[in-house]
Amino acid sequence: MHVRQLLILLGVSVGLAYGSLVPNHQSVLVHKSDEQGLSYSGSPQLRLQYREPPPNLQYKCGPKYGHCPSGTCCSSAGFCGTSSAHCRSPECMIDYGRCDAHESPDGPPTEDIPRPHLGEVPYAPYEIRSCSVPGTIAFTFDDGPSRFTGDLLELLDRYDASATFFVTGINNGKGRIDDPNLPWAELVEQMISGGHQIASHTWSHEDLSKITAGQRDDQLLKNEAAIRNIIGSFPTYMRPPYSSCLPESGCGHHLADLGYHIVLYDIDTEDYKNDSPDLIQRSKDIFDRALESADSKNTSWLIIGHDIHEQTVHNLTEHMLKVSKDLGYRPVTVGECLHDPRENWYRADDRWAVNKTKKHDHSPKHLLQPKNFTVPQVSLDGTCGANYTCFGSRFGLCCGSNKVCGNTTSHCGYGCNKEAGYCSVGVPANGDALDALDSDSAEAKRVRSEADSSLRVVGSAALTSFALALFVAMWM
C-alpha cells in the first residue's frame, strides 16, 4: 500500500467516524454528479460530503428541542433513537416521542367498570402510611415483576409469609406484564395462588404529579387492563411512583374517582440505594432499628422494598422475615394489616372469564390448584433443554447455553435457549427510577445510560468506518 493510500485510509476513517457521530449530518459517499451535493472533502477521486437532514429530523429532543421524528423515542438525556435505552420507561420522555409506555394491553378497557368505595379503609386522596392491626407487618415490593420475583415468591413460601406486590405494567424495558410470551404473567398468577396481594404501581412508572389528567388515566387504566388480562380483576390498592401525588396536581382526587387506596409506608428500607453485598447491611440496620423501637403486641409496620433488586430478594428479605418472626410479628398483606376483607382488594371484570377461557386453560379456580404443566416440563433439577423449561422452576428463568437454568447474564444473555426459558434481551440487571425522591441518583443513572449508548455508537462507527476505508483503499 502506498503512502498516499495510507493517508487516504486514515482521512476517510476519521471523516466517516465524524460523520456518524455528528447527529445533524448524515454522511454519504456520492459521485460528483449527485446534484444535491454541497461541500465535499477528501481527494478528487473520493468525495465525502454531508447532506443536510430534512428539517423535521432533529437528533435532540425535550422541552428545549421539541418532539422526535415520528416513530423514534426521546431518551431521558434528550436524544432521539429507537434502542431499548431510548424507549424504555420510565426514563423515556412520553411527551417528546414514542415510548414503550405508549403500548397498550390487549382486551377491552376497564374505564366503564363501576368503582364504589367499599369497606372501612380510607380511599384517595388520603394517603395510608401505616398498618392498623397490631402485631402485623406488611412487606411490600414495588416495580416488579422482575427476574428475581420467582425467587422472592419461593422465599415467602418457605417462611409462610404473605406480601403485597405493587406491580408496574411496562417499566425497565421488560415488555408488557400481560404479554403471553414473557414470564411476568405467570409470576403474577403465582402471587395470587401464593396468597399474596397485587396492587398497582401504574403502567410505566411516571410521576403522577407531573403528567396531565389524560396521561394519569392511561397510567392507571392500562395497568388495570393488563392485570385484568392475567387474573380477571384489577386492584383497588395502589402506590404512586416516587410516592408522588401532590394535591395541586389534582392527582389525589383523580385517584379517588378511580376508586383507589393510596398506600405509602412507615419503613423505607432504602434497598434501591444499597443493592450490593457491601451496602445491603445498611438496609438491614434501618429495618432492625425501627423494629427494636417498639413492642410487637401493640405495633404494626408497613415496609417498602423493590423486587427488581437482587440484594433485596437474595439477602435483605430473608433477614427481615427472620427478625420480624423472632419478634412475634405476622407477615401479612396490606389488605390484611388494615383489616380489609379480601373481596375489597380487587374489582372484577365480568367480561374476562369468557375471553380468558377462549385463550387459555386458566380460570381463577384453576390458579388455586397445583398447575398441570404440559410438555416441556418445568425443570426439577436445574437442567433445561428440549424437554425441560426453566419457566416456573426454582433455579432461575433463563436456560443458558450450558443447559442449566439461572438468572445471570451468562444464562439470560448470549446463547440463551429461548425454547426452554426466558432470554433477557432488554431486561436490566437492576435499575429503576427510585420511589424515594433521590434526584441525584436518578440523574446519575440517566447520565450513565446515555453514556453507555454513546460508547456503543462510537465503537460501531469506528468499526464501520475502518471497514469502508479499507475497502476503498484496496480498490484504489
301: phi then psi, degrees, rounded to nearest 5 = -135, 150
Looking at residues 215 to 254 of the shown chain, list those that interact with Zn ion (rule: CB under 5 A). 241
* DSSP class per residue in 251-280: HHHHHHHTT-EEE--SEE--TTT--STTTH
Give the CA dihedral 216, 219, 224, 226, nearest 10 degrees.
160
Among this protein's residues, is 142 annotated catalytic?
yes
- 328 three-class SS: coil
Place of cell 433443554: 385
Taking CB under 5 A as the rule, does residue 307 contact Zn ion?
no
> Judged by CB, which is closer to Zn ion: 255, or 390?
255
Binding mask 422-451 for Zn ion (x = CB under 5 A): -------------x----------------
* Closest by CA position to 473, among listed 9, 113, 146: 9
Among residues 100, 142, 151, 178, the one annotated as catalytic is 142
Among this protein's residues, is 31 annotated catalytic?
no
Nearest approach in angstroms of CB 306 to Zn ion is 7
Binding residues for Zn ion, total number by CB under 5 A: 4
In angstroms and rounded to an integer, the radius of gyration of the C-alpha atoms of the chain is: 26
Among residues 86, 205, 261, 306, the one annotated as catalytic is 306
> Judged by CB, which is closer to Zn ion: 28, or 264?
264
> Judged by CB, which is closer to Zn ion: 8, or 93?
93
Nearest approach in angstroms of CB 229 to Zn ion is 21
Contacts of 467 (CB under 8 A, 6+ apart): none
> Judged by CB, which is closer to Zn ion: 143, or 218?
143
Contacts of 263 (CB under 8 A, 6+ apart): 127, 128, 140, 164, 166, 199, 237, 238, 239, 302, 334
> Judged by CB, which is closer to Zn ion: 146, or 417?
146
Verify cis geometry, omega within 30 degrees of 0, for the bond prior to 54: no
Nearest approach in angstroms of CB 225 to Zn ion is 20
> Judged by CB, which is closer to Zn ion: 144, or 259?
144
CA distance to 285, 298, 465, per residue, from 293 (Å): 12, 12, 64
Nearest approach in angstroms of CB 146 to Zn ion is 12
* DSSP class per residue in 138-200: EEEEES---TTHHHHHHHHHHTT---EEEE-SSBTT---TT-TTSSHHHHHHHHHHTT-EEEE
- 20 three-class SS: helix
Nearest approach in angstroms of CB 90 to Zn ion is 8
> Judged by CB, which is closer to Zn ion: 185, or 434?
434
Looking at residues 350 to 389 of the shown chain, list those that interact with Zn ion (rule: CB under 5 A). none
Nearest approach in angstroms of CB 110 to Zn ion is 21
Nearest approach in angstroms of CB 142 to Zn ion is 4
Binding mask 118-157 for Zn ion (x = CB under 5 A): ------------------------xx--------------
Report the catalytic residues. Answer: 142, 306
Residues that bind Zn ion (CB under 5 A): 142-143, 241, 435
